[in-house]
Amino acid sequence: MSEPQVRSTLGTRWRTSGAPLPTVPVRPLASRVSSTASRLVGALLAVAIFTNALTAQIRGRAPESAGTSRWWFSGGAAATTSLTDINDGASRSVWRFGSDPLWQMRGSLERTSDDFTSLGIAVAYGRVDLTVTPQPGTVAQPAATPLPASCTFGCPAQAQMWSLMGQFRSGGGTGFHTLFEATGGVTGFRDMRTRDSLSLAIGKPSGTMDLSGAIGAGFGYPISRGLVIALVQDFGMGFHSKADLPSGTSRTWRIRTTRASLRFSF
């Protein structure tokens, strides 16, 4: 037979003595919630720190930003592969530039507004060859600046061709990338002379200045963080002076240019 179980009479004696039962202290609800929230925030911070450290170990350091307040200078060469005839009313002549490339030096100074956009100015200059011929259908009134006698039936000539443009540029990246450019300003032709031993002046001594603009697209490749090589094809249009032009004669001209440049940041 099993031994009789001994039953505790502690509760009975306590109630008999009239003493209150012992109570377990209970923490206020707000305190418990605050403690739980603190532990949760601490856990989340620990997870975030651990994840960030793990990502850095796997991927290495994140690449630095290119910055949003950098200056860029570009320099290179531009080859005009197509420039349509220009009708000049002052000399009553037509300037024909032919199909050979017209070479210019070109440079620009730009400031970036973000990693892919910049605004600046661009200048170009070069001596170009052309052929000057009398304008057909001109009136009997003499020209303001008559052609030399050697150009009565056309003559080879040479002129300084320059441009000053405002430039907008969009595009970029850490590798091979596309880019877009838009320019607007003036193109000038000055010091035009016959291409012979006499080197006689043609047209106005101060030359002409035409409103012009172009849009272009191309490619770029960064050789290093602050050095980019770019190749761009431009398509543009200009407006020559319409003074003394015969009725119905066009004053507009079109141009296509291919240019290569190196861009430096500083």
- Judged against a pLDDT cut of 80, whether residue 41 lies above it is answered with no
CATH, residue 166: 2.40.160.20
CA–CA gap between residue 137 and residue 150 (Å, rounded): 20
Q: Where are the alpha helices (DSSP H) in 60-212?
A: none
- Judged against a pLDDT cut of 90, whether residue 101 lies above it is answered with yes
Partners of 193 in the β-ladder: 158, 201
Q: Which of 62, 87, 108 is the last residue of a domain?
A: 62
| Residue 244: predicted pLDDT | 87
Residue 21 lies in a domain: no
| Residue 141: predicted pLDDT | 67
| Residue 79: predicted pLDDT | 98
In the chain, % of residues over pLDDT 90: 61
163 and 33 both lie in a single domain: no
- Judged against a pLDDT cut of 50, whether residue 47 lies above it is answered with no
Q: Which of 16, 37, 62 is the last residue of a domain?
A: 62
Range of the domain at 92: 71-265
Give the total number of structural domains in the chain: 2
Residue 12 lies in a domain: no
- Identify the residue with better confidence: 90 or 57: 90
**What confidence tier does 190 reach under pLDDT thresholds 50, 70, 90?**
very high
Average pLDDT of span 223-244: 94
Residue 240 lies in a domain: yes
The 10s digit of each residue's pLDDT in 3-15 is: 444 444 544 444 4
Q: Which amino acid is at 103?
A: W
What torsion, rounded to 10 degrees, do the Cα atoms 105, 161, 101, 130 define?
A: -150
197 and 91 both lie in a single domain: yes
34 and 149 both lie in a single domain: no
**What confidence tier does 58 reach under pLDDT thresholds 50, 70, 90?**
very low
Residue 85 lies in a domain: yes
Residue 16 lies in a domain: no
Pair 105, 157: CB distance under 8 Å = no
79 and 50 both lie in a single domain: no
The pairs formed by 62-70 with CB atoms below 8 angstroms and a separation of 24 or more are 63/174, 65/115, 66/112, 66/115, 66/172, 66/225, 67/112, 67/115, 68/112, 68/113, 68/114, 68/115, 69/111, 69/112, 70/111, 70/112, 70/265, 70/266
107 and 222 both lie in a single domain: yes
Residue 11 lies in a domain: no
159 and 119 both lie in a single domain: yes
Q: Cα separations (Å) of 24 from 16, 21, 27, 70, 155?
A: 21, 10, 10, 69, 115
Q: Which of 45, 62, 79 is the last residue of a domain?
A: 62
91 and 123 both lie in a single domain: yes
33 and 84 both lie in a single domain: no
Q: Write the DSSP string, 20-56.
A: PPP------HHHHHHHHHHHHHHHHHHHHHHHHHHHH
Residue 50 lies in a domain: yes
What torsion, rounded to 10 degrees, do the Cα atoms 137, 138, 139, 145 define?
A: -170
128 and 51 both lie in a single domain: no
| Residue 1: predicted pLDDT | 45
118 and 248 both lie in a single domain: yes
46 and 144 both lie in a single domain: no
Residue 242 lies in a domain: yes
| Residue 131: predicted pLDDT | 97
44 and 125 both lie in a single domain: no
